[in-house]
Chain A
């Protein structure tokens, strides 16, 4: 169990460092230190890619531990695929950075929207399946009025984003497919944000534990992502200088929040395996019980 704790400490540290670097980069941009900002970006982009690679690998480990044919396993396959798709997106971003591409100089940069949108679609499908799996056990079905209000708040965030969607990075792409993909992102993010509220409700309903913690981090990642998108494109919010620094930090740390959510779920698997190993190692008699259904398959 020590190695799981060490891994989580490392991810927390990386998240903290990414926040500081992101905030520092925003500060450098504000102070017109373009070269310093560019240097920080050269560190941040591979860090974001690393966050998604770690999340994808851990998500695959979690997937393989779930019973075959179950909705939860399908959900985690989709989550892993979403992580892999996000990795592709950050690889494209990294290549663009190395090649000094911008949306204005190189229209091909718009292809980053393809893995980005695919990742979001897969994530929404995964979250829906996770909800379905909990609902089969009677969990996450009775949303309270405050949950419904929170979902309403998520929906309220959508009109400003749609209104200022022209400010999105690839909104001016010469390829209409890329523009459409970019415009679909706010809706997909709103869907994932609404599902995040449901996940938060589920995390409270299941009670304190590793599963609950993982769901909470996943929910906060999805909500933060939606809020950051709104902060990035609504001009009135863009102008608030202190918020720019905080937003830069959050942008850097946000993918690590996703990694943390997956890592806490992976820790659950690793801890259960360690405990199982200890139980097996105990020389003891036991009553032969029929194997559970998931073992018979």
Chain B
């Protein structure tokens, strides 16, 4: 208690949340009491500074949220791409001993171009069936239908998430 007013009443006055009769009583007291006026001035300054800081912090946090969302989205995209790149690596390692590593890479580039009009790294999940189909056709032309079928079957199993 300070000069007949509780701490909660002083805080409510500073926050402009105090009901009218109590508010009028405090204002009448402040006209007469210099100690309470000084204390109330300090409280109001502190309140203003706190409000401004809180606003700044809120804005900062809002930016951070956007950044977090962006990073999370990027991470999710990478997570989705990772199995596809892993599958491509597995197809490449199945193909290289048959056709040769350079021919395997070239066949993959051609298949990616035919299936998605992009590079191998630009492939998405939706391109996978066409990519495997074109790749197995290219491999069949170079190394025969057995090798082509091997790639088609391996591609289908990799799509099912099986480790080959």
Please report the number of residue pairs spanning A and B whose Cβ atoms sit closer than 8 angstroms.
Answer: 144
Residues of B near A271 (CB, < 8 A) are: 98
User: Complex formed: what's the CA distance from A62 to B107 in Å?
Assistant: 20
Q: A276 and B153: CB pair below 8 A?
A: yes
A211 in contact (CB, < 8 A): yes
Within 111-132 of B, Cβ neighbours of A (below 8 Å) are at 128-130, 132
Asked if A209 meets B96 with Cβ closer than 8 Å, knowing A66-B145, A137-B142, A268-B144, the reply is: yes
Within 187-211 of A, Cβ neighbours of B (below 8 Å) are at 205-211
User: Complex formed: what's the CA distance from A290 to B102 in Å?
Assistant: 26
A134 CB → nearest B CB, Å: 8
B86 in contact (CB, < 8 A): no
User: Complex formed: what's the CA distance from A133 to B138 in Å?
Assistant: 11
Residues of B near A138 (CB, < 8 A) are: 106, 110
Q: B142 and A211: CB pair below 8 A?
A: yes
User: Complex formed: what's the CA distance from A72 to B134 in Å?
Assistant: 17
Q: A66 and B144: CB pair below 8 A?
A: yes
Q: A208 and B100: CB pair below 8 A?
A: yes
Q: B144 and A279: CB pair below 8 A?
A: no
What secondary structure prevails in chain A residues at the interface with B?
A: helix
Band of interface residues on A:
35 or more
Residues of A near B153 (CB, < 8 A) are: 276, 279-280, 286
User: Complex formed: what's the CA distance from A285 to B153 in Å?
Assistant: 11
User: Complex formed: what's the CA distance from A88 to B80 in Å?
Assistant: 60
Q: A288 and B101: CB pair below 8 A?
A: no
Contact pattern, A 13-49, Cβ under 8 Å of B = 1, otherwise 0: 0000000000000000000000000000000000000
Asked if A268 meets B147 with Cβ closer than 8 Å, knowing A211-B142, A293-B133, the reply is: yes
Stretch of B39-47, B48-56, B59-67, B156-164 lying at the A interface: B156-164
A70 in contact (CB, < 8 A): yes
Residues of A near B149 (CB, < 8 A) are: 272, 276, 292, 295
* Interface residue ranges, B against A (CB under 8 Å): 94, 96-104, 106-107, 110, 128-130, 132-134, 136-138, 140-150, 152-157, 159-160, 162, 164
